[in-house]
Amino acid sequence: MSEKKPVRLEDLSLDPEKYYFFFPMHNGDTFTALGFVRWFEKANNAKVVCLIRPSQEVIMRLFEIEDYELIDFDFTENGTLWQTVIAMSDMCPNPRRGAIFVALATAHLENRLFWESHAPLNHLQQYAHMYRVNGAPTDAFQKPTDAHIVVSDAFKQRLSAIAPVENIVLLSPETLSFINKGTGTIALKFWAEEAEKWTNRGFTVLVSSVSPLSIPHAHFFEMSLEEALWLGIHCKHVTARRSGYTDLLCFFQPDFTVVYPSYAFFATYNFFDLFHLHLDEIIIPDMKMRDKNGIFLPIIEDINRLADLKKERKTASLLSRFSFGKKKKIYKQKKKEIKQRISAAEETQQLMRDSSFHLEEGE
């Protein structure tokens, strides 16, 4: 249990010589953004104070960051969180001393416009641009070297009552960041077959999810993020939907299968391109996430969000001229880019795997 007590943003006493980075969103974005903090401190000869969700304190330990504050803030996505984050990013669009900078790449208009003109960028490249990294993002990103995960004896006893930890296989079928946001789902059939496969090999299969999830041949096991991370590190094998949890685990569990719901999602977030990790990464597309031409629907949603910025932000002259015709033109360009991403994803996965390309349609 941390000795730190959550504080409100308005109660912080800001040191004019320090930078303050606020991490308002879910685990994956926080993990990626935190990985550049050491580089930023060295490049600017200054200290950074990280402002985080109380539930993400474990991520500070992954990077051995001690200069941080837990923030008492309404992080529930009730319709006002994003508006608050956008307003804060407008007040401090670039990092500066003595001010709170929102360390979330999607919150900053300039980043969004840069991605549109330099697509496709993977997740690490998106954050490297936010920090204005010169050189390769992988060189600036500080990879965690020690998990520093501690769990209670009571948790270990709960596990041992089910099976020895080395005989446990963990399934993680959910992602917090993208629930109901058009990124697709992995069919229940896949998880049931995965659980049956490991059960037939003599292992006990546990499921980690936000709420109890019924998967044949598997058992729901309630645990915190830190407990799920500890189990993921020490168990026999993990199969997980690509999520922030997989970011936290990827450097510590070599026997790891990561599942993607689309080619486009794979192109942006695969661990081979991000960190040159050779994990087992497979794509099982949700065919309901396609339009009549087979194009990934979130691309259309992304265009719509960009168009909506002209109404909400009123700060970019480029967007003030954003017409339906231009929207249609960008959509056509996106269709071309997504086909290129599909081709790149297939080629990358062929290089990563000895066997033939693994593809199964979701139901």
Same domain, 196 and 216: yes
Alpha helices per DSSP H over 92-223: 109-118, 123-130, 137-140, 153-160, 188-200
Structure tokens at 29: 């974005």
Task: Label residue 206 by pLDDT band (50, 70, 90).
Answer: very high
Give the domain-ending residue among 87, 116, 140.
Answer: 140
DSSP characters over 69-92: EEB----S-SSSHHHHHHHHHHH-
260 HSE (CA, 13 A, CB side): 21
Same domain, 157 and 131: no
Among the listed residues 142, 152, 147, 125, the one whose alpha carbon sits nearest the alpha carbon of residue 59: 147
Task: Provide the 3-class DSSP secondary structure of residue 285.
Answer: coil
Beta bridge partners of 27: none
Task: Label residue 63 by pLDDT band (50, 70, 90).
Answer: very high
Same domain, 118 and 159: no
Give the total residue count for the chain: 363
Give the domain-ending residue among 94, 114, 140.
Answer: 140
Residue 2 in any domain: the answer is: no
Same domain, 337 and 291: yes
Domain that holds residue 229: 149-363
Whether the Cβ atoms of residue 53 and residue 23 lie closer than 8 Å to each other: yes
- CATH number, domain of 168, equals 3.40.50
Residue 121 in any domain: the answer is: yes
Residue 170 in any domain: the answer is: yes
Q: How do residues 113-169 score in pLDDT, each as one tens digit?
A: 887 777 678 899 999 999 988 878 888 999 998 778 889 999 999 999 999 999 999
Residue 216 in any domain: the answer is: yes
Give the domain-ending residue among 117, 140, 163.
Answer: 140
Nearest-5° angle of CA 260, CA 263, CA 267?
90
What's the mean pLDDT in 177-183? 42
Residue 254 in any domain: the answer is: yes
Beta bridge partners of 168: 204
Report pTM: 0.75
In this predicted structure, what is the pLDDT of residue 336? 59
Same domain, 154 and 118: no
Q: How do residues 267-287 score in pLDDT, each as one tens digit?
A: 889 999 899 899 999 888 654
Task: Label residue 82 by pLDDT band (50, 70, 90).
Answer: confident
Task: Label residue 101 by pLDDT band (50, 70, 90).
Answer: very high
Who wins on pLDDT, 1 or 108?
A: 108
Same domain, 160 and 197: yes
Whether the Cβ atoms of residue 27 and residue 245 lie closer than 8 Å to each other: yes
Same domain, 75 and 212: no
What distance in Å separates the CA atoms of residue 55 and residue 65, rounded to the nearest whole number? 15
What distance in Å separates the CA atoms of residue 316 and residue 65, rounded to the nearest whole number? 36
What distance in Å separates the CA atoms of residue 273 and residue 269, rounded to the nearest whole number? 8
In this predicted structure, what is the pLDDT of residue 264? 76
Residue 3 in any domain: the answer is: no
Task: Provide the 3-class DSSP secondary structure of residue 52.
Answer: strand
Same domain, 285 and 209: yes
Same domain, 197 and 324: yes
**Looking at the 3D structure of the chain, how many domains does it have?**
2
Q: How do residues 221-256 score in pLDDT, each as one tens digit?
A: 999 999 999 999 999 999 999 999 999 999 999 899
Q: How many CB atoms lie within 10 A of CB 93?
A: 15
Report, in angstroms and rounded to the nearest whole number, the Rg of the chain calculated over CA atoms. Answer: 21
In this predicted structure, what is the pLDDT of residue 254? 87
Residue 4 in any domain: the answer is: no
Same domain, 47 and 16: yes
Strands 68-70 and 19-22: unpaired
Same domain, 314 and 169: yes
Residue 309 in any domain: the answer is: yes
Average pLDDT, the chain: 79
Same domain, 297 and 354: yes
